[in-house]
């Protein structure tokens, strides 16, 4: 993914806020990148732009060779379904469906046949084999988040976008989910982009982008938690 000179403004007049001020960033395939910064720094705006969830005022965003800014709404919807897997703070599982049905639901909605070997590998990697028949209410928070992650991975996306994936979880379960995200990169070769306020979570990434006032103020490889403390 390559983003160049991104600008985004909200509001007008005295209420005008420059959320992104000429942000440029490249995210290599197979990298775990964390985006963090204080409230109002522009981190969520950047994530939404990179994931095709929000438009920008100017700049370029390319994902797997496709220029996102040139796509119409229906084309963006199709690209998100085919190229991007989303993991949110809220698990967003369908309560009446089993874990297996939740995992396969996006593929069914897109009328795509699953690569069963790939899906089976994800299920085994995430330790969900004995939970496939369970509904969300029968699973712990960590198990539900693993189902959400399996659902995001099922279509072999070019990018996994994780928005505060540990925000609703306790310390132990958070560590479990972060370990799984790490495994997705190390064992499946996935590209992960995670927005977080958790410095410990960010320190598990290959790279940390720190935003402040709409600009990247630090780009750290293999960040240490102590490094990040001085920047947030």
Q: How much is the average pLDDT of 63-77?
A: 92
Q: Does residue 168 carry a pLDDT above 80? A: no
Domain span including residue 115: 29-44+77-229
How would DSSP label each residue in 48-77? HHHTTSS--SEEEEEETTEEGGG--HHHHH
Q: Does residue 230 carry a pLDDT above 80? A: no
Q: How much is the average pLDDT of 44-59?
A: 94
* Per-position b or e across 198-217, b if 16+ CB within 10 A of its CB: bbebbbbbbbbbbbbebebe
Asked if residue 117 belongs to a domain, the reply is yes
Q: Does residue 183 carry a pLDDT above 90? A: no
Asked if residue 66 belongs to a domain, the reply is no
Q: How far is 155 from 170, CA to CA, in rounded Å?
A: 29
For the chain, the domain total comes to 1
Asked if residue 206 belongs to a domain, the reply is yes
pLDDT tens sequence across 58-69: 999 999 889 999
pLDDT tens sequence across 123-132: 988 889 999 9
Instruction: With cut-offs at 50, 70 and 90, classify the pLDDT of residue 13.
Output: confident
Q: Does residue 99 carry a pLDDT above 90? A: yes
Asked if residue 58 belongs to a domain, the reply is no
Choose between 7 and 227: higher pLDDT: 7
What is the average pLDDT score of the chain?
A: 91
pLDDT tens sequence across 185-227: 998 888 999 999 889 899 999 999 999 999 999 999 999 888 8
pLDDT given at position 10 = 93
8 Å CB contact between 136 and 91: yes
Q: How much is the average pLDDT of 108-118?
A: 87
Q: Write the CATH number for 145.
A: 3.40.50.300
Tokens of 77: 């919807």
């Amino acid at each position: 993914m390559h983003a160049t000179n991104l600008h985004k403004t909200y509001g007008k007049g005295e209420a005008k806020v420059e959320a992104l001020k000429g942000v440029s960033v490249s995210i290599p395939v197979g990298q775990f990148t964390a985006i963090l910064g204080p409230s109002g720094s522009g981190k969520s705006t950047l994530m939404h732009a990179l994931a095709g969830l929000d438009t920008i005022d100017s700049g370029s965003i390319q994902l797997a060779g496709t220029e996102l800014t040139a796509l119409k709404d229906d084309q963006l919807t199709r690209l998100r379904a085919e190229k991007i897997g989303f993991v949110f703070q809220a698990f967003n599982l369908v309560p009446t469906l089993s874990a297996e049905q939740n995992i396969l639901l996006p593929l069914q909605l897109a009328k795509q046949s699953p690569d069963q070997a790939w899906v089976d590998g994800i299920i085994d990697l995430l330790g969900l084999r004995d939970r496939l028949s369970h509904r969300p209410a029968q699973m712990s928070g960590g198990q539900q988040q693993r189902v959400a992650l399996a659902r995001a991975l099922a279509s072999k996306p070019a990018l996994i976008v994780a928005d505060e994936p540990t925000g609703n979880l306790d310390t132990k379960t958070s560590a479990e989910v972060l370990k799984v995200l790490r495994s997705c990169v190390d064992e499946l070769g996935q590209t992960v982009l995670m927005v977080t306020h958790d410095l410990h979570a960010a320190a598990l990434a290959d790279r940390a982008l720190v935003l402040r006032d709409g600009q990247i103020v630090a780009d750290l490889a293999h960040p240490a938690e102590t490094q990040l403390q001085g920047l947030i």
